[in-house]
Amino acid sequence: MATLLNETIINAVPVLMPIFDSLHALIQSLQWLVGGMFGLYLILVFLRWRESRMVSSILKEIRDDIRELSRDIRAVNERVNKIEKKSKSR
């Protein structure tokens, strides 16, 4: 219906035809610009999501390594404590 109304206005007033053409070109440019920005925004959101997943996996690996090192340190401390107890009892 809007198209029919626009065609009626354009046909009724031929003097306004250049104005409508320039408005149409401006609207098309805005649609392209907004569509382009939206597309870039989606790409950036996807890249940010991927980066956060990578960082999360790296942090998980670091956490696991720290836990393993903590276990090793506890084991070494227990051995040292046993050696110290033996040397004190002598």
Residue in the structure block whose two tokens are 């392209």: 32
- What is the pTM assigned to this prediction? 0.53
Express each pLDDT in 70-85 by its tens digit: 999 999 999 999 988 8
The angle at the Cα of 79, spanning 78 to 80, to the nearest 5 degrees, equals: 90
Q: Is the pLDDT higher at 27 or at 6?
A: 27
Domain ranges of the chain: 2-89
The SS3 of residue 90 is: coil
